[in-house]
Amino acid sequence: MADVKGKSLSKSQVEELAIHLENAELQAYEVTKITDDFPSMTYEDAFDIQWEIRRRKEERGNKIVGMKMGLTSWAKMAQMGVEHPCYGFLADYFTVPDGGEIKHDELIHPKIEAELAFVLKDELKGPGIHIGDVLRATDFVMPAVEVIDSRYKDFKFDLKSVIADNSSSSRFVTGGRMADVADLDLKTLGVVMEINGEVVQTGAGAAVLGHPAASVAMLANMLAERGESLKAGSFIMIGAITAAVQVNKGDNFTVHYQGLGSIGGKFV
């Protein structure tokens, strides 16, 4: 990301765009990508908008329950036409219990993604965090499925627009079996995604930046650019291992994780 530093939007423009995108999320309607109207906005502006959406939710009493990385696999980067990872936050009401129902009408055009989650026992504070630091600081790894729902028309965006839109975050399911990183071969850990009993995607952990822990390291280093860190206890999703798959009302899904069980849900 070239122009990471520097702002072109005023504080009130950041606030307006945060309200604009958050309303689209809460009321489930599509908007055009914001760089169409603000072509000179910077990456710092984009993150300012995302952090302003987060601040607004916290001010209303929502709790932030985790973080997610996105666009960390070639499958996803190729699918979305964006070639750099991004991050977002997870709010309390994004959580769906394993096997639970997800209301399709509350979302615009949801897709599901097979991911993994790391839960930390120690803080990770960048810059300079590497895979070894992540493995040392990890309490356990567990299965996770993300439901993404870009607020942009037809899921079409560029990196700045998607960052401002909290990286399309909307719901997630976690469960299955927790495991110690020492007992897993995270690169070869296989995932199989089924929708309505049919296999639609398969993949392995190495699809995510060569090693799933590299995604957590990158997140810690990206957060450091804003003076933020990943606290002990943080729940972090590493980004989709395979391409995302669109789901319709009535669909049910199951994702199987090698050695870690299965998780699923239903769109109603």
202 CB neighbour count, 10 Å cutoff: 14
The DSSP code sequence of 107-157 is SSS-EEEEEEEEEESS-B--SS--HHHHHHHEEEEEEEEEEE--SBGGG--
162 interface partner picked from ligand OOG, Mg ion, none, CB below 5 to 8 A per type: ligand OOG
Which of 17, 22, 54, 70 is close enough to bind ligand OOG by CB under 6 A? 70
Sign of CA dihedral 204, 212, 101, 256: positive
Binding mask 194-233 for Mg ion (x = CB under 5 A): ----------------------------------------
**How big is the site for ligand OOG, counted in residues (CB under 6 A)?**
15
Q: Pick one of 45, 48, 146, 251: the residue that binds ligand OOG (CB under 6 A).
A: 146
Q: Report residue 245 CA to chain centroid gap.
A: 15
- Contact between 152 and 111 under an 8 Å Cβ cutoff? The reply is no
- The one among 162, 186, 214, 247 contacting ligand OOG by CB under 6 A: 162
Stretch 133-152 residues interacting with Mg ion (CB under 5 A):
146
Q: What burial class does residue 231 get, using C-beta atoms within 10 Å of its C-beta: 0-12 exposed, 13-18 middle, 19+ buried?
A: exposed
Judged by beta carbon distances under 5 to 8 A according to partner kind, the member of ligand OOG, Mg ion, none in contact with residue 160 is none
What's the sign of the alpha-carbon dihedral 245, 164, 159, 128? Answer: negative
Does 80 interact with ligand OOG (rule: CB under 6 A)? Answer: yes
Q: Is 49 in the site for ligand OOG (CB under 6 A)?
A: no
Angle at 164 between CA 200 and CA 91, to 5 degrees: 70
Question: Which member of 9, 71, 142, 236 binds ligand OOG (CB under 6 A)?
Answer: 71
Cβ distance 239 to 70 under 8 Å?
yes
Among 113, 149, 165, 251, binds Mg ion (CB under 5 A): 113
CB of 224 to Mg ion, least distance (A): 21
Q: How far is CA 238 from CA 9, 30, 87, 211, 266, in A?
A: 30, 26, 9, 10, 22
Smaller CB distance to ligand OOG: residue 35 or 72? 72
How near is the Cβ of 61 to ligand OOG at its closest, in Å?
25
Rounded CA gap, 160 and 74, in Å?
19
Q: Identify whether the C-beta of residue 150 lies closer than 8 Å to the C-beta of residue 166.
A: no
Q: Which is closer to ligand OOG, CB of 11 or CB of 84?
A: 84
Q: Does 236 sit near ligand OOG (CB under 6 A)?
A: no
Judged by the rule CB under 6 A, the positions of this chain that interact with ligand OOG are 68, 70-72, 76, 80, 113, 146, 148, 150, 162, 167-168, 239-240
Judged by the rule CB under 5 A, the positions of this chain that interact with Mg ion are 70, 113, 146, 240
